Amino acid sequence: MSKYIIVLASLFPIAKYTSRLIQSSPGTDMIIASPHKFLDCIHDFHTRVLKTIDKSLQILKTWILISLVLCTFAIISSLIYYLIYQIIMPVRYQHSIISMYKGQDSLIGLTDQEVTLQNENYLISVNLQVPEDEINAALGNFEVELTFMYKNGQIKKLKNLGILKYYSYYTKIIKNLVKLPFVLLGIYDESQVVTVKFYHSLFHAEEIDKVFIKIVPQELRVYSMSIDFEVKLEGIRNFMYMHGYYSFFIGTGVIFCMLCGCFIMMAALNYEWIWKNQDIKESEVKDGRSKEDNETCASSEDACPCPQEIEFQFASIIKQVPEKPWYKVL
């Protein structure tokens, strides 16, 4: 219904133009005497408008379909990226203490720094394995101070408290009785691990030379001590850091597939549009040739005889041909 409304609306300028032409031109008798030409003009214009509308609607449908496919792909990719990005995996660097000594009022440990990721928020943990003896139990808590020494002479310090686990008298007796066979076999020892955590952003981590660990008071007895640098990277960053080559090839392949898909869709759209235009042009040329042939046949009867006249002439020629050979006739 919308097509016919558009066609009727498009006929008004043609009607105005033809009315002005009839009033102004001297050869109005020919125009009035041959109304079929005017109707043919209207019919041609009508067919062209319909073809243009059909072509425009088909191109619009194709573009809408391509847009929906691309939007769906983008939404799915964003959801997958968001879900993978929410996966947090830790990257941990553990360093043992290369030297330990007692100062005037503290216990000091020294370690080298080999953290490769810069400008990240690190969870720094100092792990102390201490014996469960009377001296440590009497101390209860202690203070740990970290000192970062950079190569350019800059110093940064962090402090936090550590607390030993407390056991009541009866709980300690029961725990010792349960652990006694394992302690005698050498599987367990009477010690506990105390972890002191620090949060810090290590800017220019490669410029850090050494890290000093200071424990106050110095009376705290320690079996062993280590320091951990842990950075929590999200899923994509963790995968790119831990698997650099795989992430490079996967990312390149995904981008290449997306570009190939867009190129194929655009090529298919252009191919369909070009061939449709060629078909329309060929049909218009054929219609024009048929109209020219009809006009020439109508104008000159001798140049284009009717089919009945052709049949009559052919029959007369056949009658003139002798039925017998010429030598028998003679």
Bigger pLDDT: 176 vs 33: 176
Sign of CA dihedral 25, 28, 30, 32: positive
pLDDT in tens, 208-263: 777 888 888 878 888 888 888 777 766 666 666 666 677 777 777 777 777 777 77
Pseudo-torsion of CA 51, 54, 55, 60, nearest 10°? 160
**Same domain assignment for residues 257 and 181:** no
Q: For residue 84, what pLDDT is reported?
A: 63
**Same domain assignment for residues 60 and 77:** yes
- Report the chain's mean pLDDT, rounded to a whole number: 68
Bigger pLDDT: 37 vs 187: 187
Q: Is the pTM of this model over 0.85?
A: no
Look at the chain and report how many structural domains it folds into: 3
**Same domain assignment for residues 204 and 226:** yes
**Same domain assignment for residues 279 and 267:** yes
Q: Token pair for residue 60? A: 């619009």
In a domain, 320, yes or no: no
**Same domain assignment for residues 105 and 196:** yes
Per the listing, tokens 């691309």 go with: 70
pLDDT in tens, 264-307: 777 776 666 655 555 555 565 566 556 555 555 555 544 444 54
**Same domain assignment for residues 117 and 195:** yes
Q: For residue 114, what pLDDT is reported?
A: 57
Bigger pLDDT: 3 vs 74: 74
Least confident interval from 82-91, 155-164, 321-330 = 321-330
Q: Domain containing 25: what range? A: 1-86
Bigger pLDDT: 167 vs 10: 167
Q: For residue 94, what pLDDT is reported?
A: 59
**Alpha-carbon span 208 to 72, nearest angstrom:** 48
Cβ atoms of 213 and 225 closer than 8 Å: yes
Q: How far apart are the first and last CA of the chain?
A: 78
Q: For residue 36, what pLDDT is reported?
A: 62
Bigger pLDDT: 119 vs 10: 119
